């Protein structure tokens, strides 16, 4: 076993830009964030990216480089009181500080509205410089007034080149690993299971090393890495290694109409500490992609579930999540809207920017009218049933059909409506 209680990932945490791997578009020479740091004029910003790509590390390096007082809070364990205490300490110490302190908030997307509101005044008046870190789209999770006061920088998963650099540095520079002998034959599996996450890469190295006896040569190849991880799957998965497999099983269970399996996979995610809003977002997508027009209420319910979970949090949020999962799993299914937009997008990719037919163009000026804009357009409300036979496609796509109704009661009604006017859907719904 490694002879240190400090995890390898923490021992290898970079303390300067020299050792920081990846994100060249932000911190490389002449990159936007690097320029702001070099100017010494730091503004508040949010780092958005997947786990293990250096958000926390980057915030610490910036604070060190600029010699700023650094406060750190986690949205998981901190409340409004903690935020206000940091702000008060910053204000009371301002006369002794030549630069504004940095407040780093990890997982800022988990802050409630009231917690984010508590930050607003201090960010706006310059009491603190806020650096937020999030794995979720800040457009959805950060309140608009706070988001408008912060620049958002997107961090990417680490490339193979970045992971190679991390592996080399760990073996050559870590006080313990550099005393061992390594035989690196292959790295594909090592990097694949890392998934562009530096923390996972170093955790895997730690797991592999821990399976060898002192004095043995550490062999790293694809088979060895996979075998070692399978034997240590609980250790490796505690931070969500099977994240994508479980969410896939969850979605497929709902799609396949099995509420019991769907509840089981959701319980697995909740127990593992998955963000409940991630689960709720997936339900919103599924309600459109897999249920769609077969039951439009499913989309409304999924949206209501997301809003409710966002407001009340956990553990109470598990109840509306379960209710929505059961409703969606037992609902009629249709992917016709999903298929239809994919067909339309493919048509656009193939045909490019086709001109809008003249009769459909806007004609706000006399010149446009003289050129034939809007000429021949039939106003649907002037016709029986507010329906008119008219070509709305570019002439190159005349009679194209992207939407094929599925065979469910709701879409059968849509077919009857369209058939009433002798439309292109008169052949009826497809069998699915």
Indicate the Cα dihedral angle 244, 250, 254, 260, nearest 10°: 170
Q: How far is CA 351 from the centre of its chain?
A: 31
The answer to whether residue 391 is domain-embedded is: yes
Looking at the fold, whether 72 and 120 belong to one and the same domain comes out as yes
Same domain (yes/no): 101, 206 = no
Instruction: Answer with the one of 309, 329, 349 that is the final residue of a domain.
Output: 329
pLDDT given at position 2? 47
- Domain containing residue 403: CATH number: 1.10.3710.10
Residues 290 and 401 in one domain: no
Closest CA to 187 of 213, 165, 211: 165
Q: Are residues 32 and 133 in the same domain?
A: yes
Last residue of a domain, one of 329, 357, 385: 329
128, 217: one domain: no
Domain of 113: which CATH number? 3.40.50.300
In a domain, 50, yes or no: yes
Residue at 10 is within a domain: no
In a domain, 6, yes or no: no
Residue 8, domain member (yes or no): no
Same domain, 317 and 262: yes
CATH number of the domain residue 286 falls in: 1.20.272.10
269 and 211 housed in the same domain = no
CA dihedral 181, 186, 188, 192 (to 10 degrees): -30
Instruction: Report in angstroms the alpha-carbon separations of 98 from 44, 68, 75, 122.
Output: 17, 9, 28, 17
Q: What angle do CA 224, 227, 231 make, to 5 degrees?
A: 135
Number of domains in the chain: 4
Asked whether residue 74 is assigned to any structural domain, the reply reads: yes
Helix (H, G, I), strand (E, B) or coil at 428: coil
Domain boundary pick from 202, 237, 272: 237
Query: Roughly how many angstroms between the first and final C-alpha of the chain, as a whole number?
Result: 55
pLDDT computed for residue 393 by the predictor: 84
In this prediction, residue 243 carries a pLDDT of 66
State which residues form the domain around 322: 243-329
Q: What tokens appear for 247 in the block?
A: 């969410």
Q: Are 227 and 239 in contact (CB under 8 A)?
A: no
- CATH number of domain containing 200: 1.10.8.60
139 with 56, same domain?
yes
Residue 5 within any structural domain of the chain: no
Asked whether residue 2 is assigned to any structural domain, the reply reads no
Answer yes or no: do 218 and 251 share one domain. Answer: no
| C-alpha to C-alpha distance for 12 and 341, rounded to whole angstroms | 47
Alpha carbon distances (Å) from 350 to 130, 338, 345, 346: 46, 19, 9, 6
Q: Tell whether 52 and 110 lie within a shared domain.
A: yes
Query: Is the same domain home to 218 and 264?
Result: no
Do 277 and 396 sit in the same domain of this protein? Answer: no
pLDDT (tens, 9 = 90+) of the chain, 432 residues, equals 444 567 888 888 888 888 888 888 888 888 888 888 888 888 889 999 888 888 999 999 999 888 888 888 887 777 788 888 888 888 876 645 667 888 898 888 888 777 888 888 888 888 888 999 988 888 877 888 888 888 889 998 888 899 999 999 999 998 889 888 999 998 888 888 887 888 889 988 888 888 888 888 988 888 888 887 765 544 434 344 456 778 888 999 999 999 999 999 999 888 777 788 889 999 999 999 999 999 999 999 999 999 999 888 888 899 999 999 999 999 999 999 999 999 999 888 888 888 888 888 888 888 888 888 888 888 888 888 787 778 788 888 887 888 888 888 888 888 887 777 665 444 444 444
């Amino acid at each position: 076993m490694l002879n240190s209680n400090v995890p390898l990932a923490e021992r290898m945490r970079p303390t300067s830009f020299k050792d920081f791997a990846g994100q060249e578009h932000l911190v490389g020479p002449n990159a936007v964030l690097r320029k702001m740091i070099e100017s010494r004029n730091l503004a508040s910003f949010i780092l958005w990216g997947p786990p293990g790509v250096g958000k926390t590390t980057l915030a610490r390096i910036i604070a060190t480089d600029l010699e700023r007082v650094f406060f750190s809070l986690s949205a998981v364990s901190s409340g409004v009181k903690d935020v206000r205490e940091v702000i008060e300490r910053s204000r009371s110490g301002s006369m002794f500080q030549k630069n504004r302190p940095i407040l780093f908030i990890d997982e800022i997307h988990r802050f409630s509205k009231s917690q984010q509101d508590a930050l607003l005044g201090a960010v706006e008046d310059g009491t603190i410089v806020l650096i937020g870190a999030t794995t979720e789209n800040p457009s959805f999770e950060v309140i608009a007034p706070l988001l408008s006061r912060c620049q958002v920088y997107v961090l990417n998963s680490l490339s193979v080149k970045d992971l190679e650099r991390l592996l080399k540095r760990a073996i050559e520079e870590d006080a313990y690993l550099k005393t061992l002998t390594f035989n690196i034959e292959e790295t594909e599996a090592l990097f694949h299971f890392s998934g562009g996450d530096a923390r996972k890469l170093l955790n895997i190295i730690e797991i592999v090393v821990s399976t060898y006896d002192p004095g043995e040569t550490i062999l790293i190849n694809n088979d060895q890495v996979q075998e070692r991880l399978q034997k240590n799957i609980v250790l490796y998965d505690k931070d969500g290694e099977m994240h994508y497999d479980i969410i896939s099983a969850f979605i497929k269970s709902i799609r396949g109409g099995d509420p019991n399996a769907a509840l089981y996979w959701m319980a697995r995610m909740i127990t593992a500490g998955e963000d409940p809003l991630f689960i709720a977002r997936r339900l919103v997508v599924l309600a459109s992609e897999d249920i769609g027009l077969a039951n439009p209420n499913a989309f409304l319910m999924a949206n209501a579930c997301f809003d409710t979970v966002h407001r009340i949090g956990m553990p109470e949020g598990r109840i509306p999540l379960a209710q929505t999962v059961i409703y969606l799993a037992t609902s009629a299914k249709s992917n016709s809207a999903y298929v239809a937009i994919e067909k339309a997008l493919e048509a656009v990719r193939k045909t490019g920017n086709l001109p809008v037919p003249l009769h459909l163009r806007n004609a706000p000026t006399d010149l446009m009218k003289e050129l034939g804009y809007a000429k021949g357009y039939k106003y649907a409300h002037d016709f029986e049933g507010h329906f008119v036979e008219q070509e709305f496609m570019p002439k190159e796509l005349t009679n194209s059909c992207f939407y094929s109704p599925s065979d469910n009661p709701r879409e059968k009604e849509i077919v009857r409506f369209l058939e009433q006017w002798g439309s292109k859907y008169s052949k009826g719904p497809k069998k699915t």
